Amino acid sequence: MMDKRTIAVMLACVLALMGLQFAISKIFPPIPKRQMPAVALTNAASNIVAQGVAAMTTTTTAPPQLSTPSVERPAEQKLALSNEFIRVEFTSWGGGIRSVELLKHKANGHGHITLNQDAPTVALSLVGVPGADTNGVFTLEQSGPTSVVMRAANVTKTVALGKDYLLTGSIECGGVPAVGVVVGMACSAHKAEALNTKETPYLNTDWQDGPKWSNRDLGAVTKRTGKGQNRETIHARWVAVKSQYFAMVLTGGTNAMAVTYTPVDLPRPEGWTAKPPPRGVMAVAEWPTVSGKLSFSLYAGPKEYERLSVLGQSQMEVMDFGSWMDGYTGIFGLVLFKGMVWCHKLAPNYGMAIILVTILLKIVFWPIQAKSIKSMKEMQKFQPQMQKVREKYKDDSQKMNQEIMKLYKEHKINPFSGCLPMLVQMPVLIAFYKVLSNAIELRGTSFLWIKDLSLPDTIWIHTLPFSLPLIGDTLVLNPLPLLMTASTVLQQKMTPSTGDSQQQKMMMFMPLIMLFMFYGMSSGLVLYWTVQQLLSIAQQWWSMRQTATAPAK
């Protein structure tokens, strides 16, 4: 029978893993089995700007949809501006951006990633401005090689394209004191990402409310929209919609007063077999206008840290490197991201860069694991004495624990040392999880048999005619998590046993827990943990060899 101290040691290790699983589940919660339907989007229901600032307090249910107007509109005019990075298509219907084609980023191996392409409402269209809202008809005029002017009723929009992914401009509203502007829509870049079971938290609307960064993922957006709570009062310079690797960030010259968001059901692409259709997240930001004018900038492109950071209003927060382990500061993630980028300069591939970062981290954590191995070896020496204490006081658990604690104190043994490496590395693991899940540098990057470091390293898929618990109706083979599990088992075999046989049997379930947690994660993260395990095995072998040869010396 296990004593309380042994149970405490085992419980601490299990809680460490459970804490990691809990943190990851908070970061990437599972998609609900039953998605709530998107609220019907109508222009009347989303009249969030009418009669000035007072109307801004009216509760809305959803941003507007590009619905059919009461009178037939003239033929749609289109105008495109482009540079070497993006091609932006403007439309006269709604006077905004129909799509943004990213010329540097491929979509599932062919074509280009296109932002806002299937959105029901064009980006930069207005809400609540009669004659110039989402159903308004604007005139388009190219005022220069990289600028366009859109006019309707008493509204004039001027937009200029910069050298990369940034557009700047202004909206003149003819005395309207406040205006709602459609930020755009975010959706999965292609089918492989949309079918990912972690889709829900990748689709977000974000904003920087003073020093506080806030976001709502697709799950929260759907839930709050269903309750009619999808309009929030904020005090933010920018509002964004984002997917896993791309974002549209609308920054105003003044602070936004509110944001309204909603889920959007999208057309099913060819070959789509999943029951729910692919979904997106739309947002409308409400800004006061100074003398009837709102200046703005719109970033529409990849979530690249360096490009976002130079925008000057903490727009790089959309990278979402922070976690509860670092107080949501993102400090661990930023250090790891910078380290990975630096290592990539030394290595030809990001897979090798991850390995180099792992080696550097192992050097940092070497003394901690060395101390842990030494402590476990010392505990192993006293296992016979501990067993005698357990047998002697098997009918008096209180006395047993007192004697074991006395033994620990006499020989300066830390019973929790075996869990120390795991606990210390948890912030790093979670930070790397965030980095590897959001860094576009890994998207589409291959390494060895891995086709994409941002996705699981699946080499075989088989659809079953029936569904299995926890697995579903699809079997996939991911070799890297299996290799990681094998290395975990080997490390356990090499680790000096410090508990009774019952505890050791229970600890053998840890590799299965790790396999379950890591099997569907990005191969870049599993690569990090596998290499870390192999390095730990090497360190353990070396440390035990040193201990074994010490008496001979």
Is the pLDDT at 58 greater than 50? The verdict is no
For 41, residues 6+ apart whose C-beta sits below 8 A from its C-beta are 62, 63, 64, 65, 67, 120, 121, 262, 264
| DSSP codes joined into one string, 392-455 | HTTT-HHHHHHHHHHHHHHHT--TTGGGHHHHHHHHHHHHHHHHHHH-GGGTT--BTTBS-TTS
User: Which among 319, 352, 383 is the end of a domain?
Assistant: 319
Residues 138 and 283 in one domain: yes
Report if residue 330 sits inside a domain.
Answer: no
Is the pLDDT at 424 greater than 70? The verdict is yes
Domain extent for 222: 52-68+77-319
Report if residue 436 sits inside a domain.
Answer: yes
Buried b vs exposed e over 191-201: b needs ≥16 C-beta within 10 Å? bebbebebbbb
Residues 391 and 436 in one domain: yes
Residues 298 and 386 in one domain: no
Report if residue 254 sits inside a domain.
Answer: yes
Residues 302 and 402 in one domain: no
Report if residue 277 sits inside a domain.
Answer: yes
Residues 159 and 266 in one domain: yes
Residues 409 and 300 in one domain: no
Is the pLDDT at 68 greater than 90? The verdict is no
Residues 394 and 247 in one domain: no
Residues 475 and 518 in one domain: yes
The whole-number pLDDT of residue 437 equals 80
Angle at which helix 331-346 crosses helix 350-381, to 10 degrees, equals 120
The whole-number pLDDT of residue 447 equals 92
Residues 509 and 463 in one domain: yes
User: Which among 287, 319, 351 is the end of a domain?
Assistant: 319
Report if residue 373 sits inside a domain.
Answer: yes
The whole-number pLDDT of residue 16 equals 52
CATH at residue 243: 2.70.98.90
The whole-number pLDDT of residue 251 equals 95
The whole-number pLDDT of residue 43 equals 35
The whole-number pLDDT of residue 347 equals 86
pTM for this prediction:
0.77
Report if residue 329 sits inside a domain.
Answer: no
Classify residue 327 as left (phi > 0), alpha (psi -120 to 50) or beta.
Answer: left
Which carries the bigger pLDDT value, residue 320 or residue 299?
Answer: 299
What's the whole-number average pLDDT of the chain? Answer: 78
Is the pLDDT at 199 greater than 60? The verdict is no
Query: DSSP assignment, residue 74?
Result: P
Read off the pLDDT band of 504 (50, 70, 90).
low
Residues 251 and 358 in one domain: no
Name the domain count of the chain. Answer: 2
| 69: phi then psi, degrees, rounded to nearest 5 | -70, 165
pLDDT tens track for 112-147: 899 998 899 999 999 988 888 888 999 999 988 899
Give the mean model confidence (pLDDT) for residues 224-241: 92
Residues 314 and 352 in one domain: no
Residues 401 and 501 in one domain: yes
Is the pLDDT at 109 greater than 60? The verdict is no
Report if residue 435 sits inside a domain.
Answer: yes
